Chain A
Amino acid sequence: MTDAVAMTNERNQIFRDLFSGKTPKRVPISNPATQDFAIQYAGLDLAECQWDLTRLEPVYDKFCQDFFTDTYPGGSIRIPSHYQILGSTPIVMSSSGFMQHPEVVGLLAEEYDEFIASPYDCIVEKILPRLFTELNGAPGKVAMALAKAMRAQSDDLAYLGTIRAKMNAKYGYAAMIGALTEAPFDFVADFLRSFKGISGDVRRYPDKVAAACEAVLPLLIKKGTLPSPGMLGYTFIPLHMAPYLRDKDFATLYWPTFKKLVETMAGMGQNVQLFVEQDWMRYLDYLYELPENTIMRFEYGDAKLVKEKLGKKHIISGFYPITLLQTGTKQQCVDKAKELIDVLAPGGKYWFQADKSVINFEAKGPVAENMSAVLEYVHENGTY
């Protein structure tokens, strides 16, 4: 058995233990930096490398060599080619090469009933043509655009998958798979009604918002389903809108279908990782109700309170403030990691991840050096 295979086996066991509620050998670690960071760290052009994926293998090799992690780092779901082919308005590349999500409205308020009656038909017939210019026009043109885009994405994902397999084999990362879905309310908000639109809808048409969430729930369950529930991995659900809602709107409009989504995933035997974005401290009692061993990666809030209220039932992660990597000294960055380990690691059920992703790299800035020091510290001092 090679060293890399042995490392994969060890890391797989660490995550199997973590996900099943057992205390693992040591605190598992994920590098918070993304593919965008890795490309800049290698000194290459961000836009060029996202279009020409053949440039990425040495990028990932250097990234993996220089930063400790137990899981494959980087990754991207925002590959530009298929968005360009489709004439995307909700996801566009900025002049600096970052893929961005401007505020868009894919569903008009007067179309709620149509969406509720058949959400997938409404997505195909109304929402996509509004958001993607090449899906709006003569049927032949639309068919050609869709075929080209799907082929482009398939090619890109296959190429990135090859790089991932090579890095996993070389560096012995945990062999995990993932699926992505969203809470129904967030799905209706993000690309359909927009932040501004949904904020008005919860007051003007709360019944329609609730019905839309119920209607789209089956699609989001299917979207988040892993090929096989027994595989090592999880369904990732980033949470967006709850901190911007009044408590009563959260209770009636956000929570019911979100809870059903997580319970359905858990009922199928799948792990679920929530990215608890912004500050959810007023919703901790709700989060407690979710199925045991739900993984919760927090952005902001009180880590001690979260450990106390949720830490015996759920797996806690996040909280490490990536802004400190930019503003702090190496010692301050390491001290913060120690502080979080002291609070969150006792008793297990803890995964070291940062509060958000690191996407930008400045050659003369301190982020790379500080991040490397933090990851090494947790690796060397996170043993149970």
Chain B
Amino acid sequence: MKTGLTKLVGGEDKMDSKYYATWEEYLAEHPELEGKPEHAISPKIQKYEDAMFVFIMDLLL
């Protein structure tokens, strides 16, 4: 899975991580969610994706 993180710094995709996904990337890997209420699912999935990212990074700060 690739991520959109590096769009913040000029659009280059340097993260390219197996361990972080944007909602769009997650959705592409989970077709069972097609047709489900995206407005309710997407913020929740993204929230825990980001929470794990912050937890991991905090371990190294």
Is A219 in contact with B5, judged by CB distance below 8 angstroms? Answer: yes
Chain A positions within 8 Å of B56 at CB level? 120, 123-124, 128
* A274 part of interface (Cβ distance < 8 Å): no
Question: What is the number of residues of chain B that contact chain A, defined by CB distance less than 8 Å?
Answer: 22
Residue of B nearest to A91 (CB): B59
B residues 6-42 near A (Cβ < 8 Å) are 6, 8-9, 14-20
At the interface, is chain B mostly helix, strand, loop or mixed?
Answer: helix
A residues 20-77 near B (Cβ < 8 Å) are 77
Known: A217-B9, A221-B9, A264-B9. A118 touches B60 (CB 8 A): no
Known: A128-B56, A264-B8. A218 touches B15 (CB 8 A): yes
Known: A221-B8, A264-B9. A120 touches B15 (CB 8 A): yes
Most buried by B among A86, A121, A181: A121
A residues 273-314 near B (Cβ < 8 Å) are none
* A180 part of interface (Cβ distance < 8 Å): yes
B33: shortest Cβ distance to chain A, in Å?
A: 23
Chain A interface residues (CB < 8 Å from chain B) = 77, 86, 88, 90, 106, 117-121, 123-124, 127-128, 131-132, 149-150, 153-154, 180-182, 187, 190-192, 214-215, 217-223, 260, 264
Q: Show 24 A/B contacts (Cβ-Cβ < 8 Å), sorted by A.
A: A88-B59, A106-B60, A119-B15, A120-B17, A120-B53, A121-B16, A123-B56, A128-B56, A128-B59, A131-B60, A149-B55, A153-B58, A154-B51, A180-B58, A187-B61, A191-B60, A214-B14, A218-B5, A218-B9, A218-B15, A221-B5, A221-B8, A222-B8, A260-B9
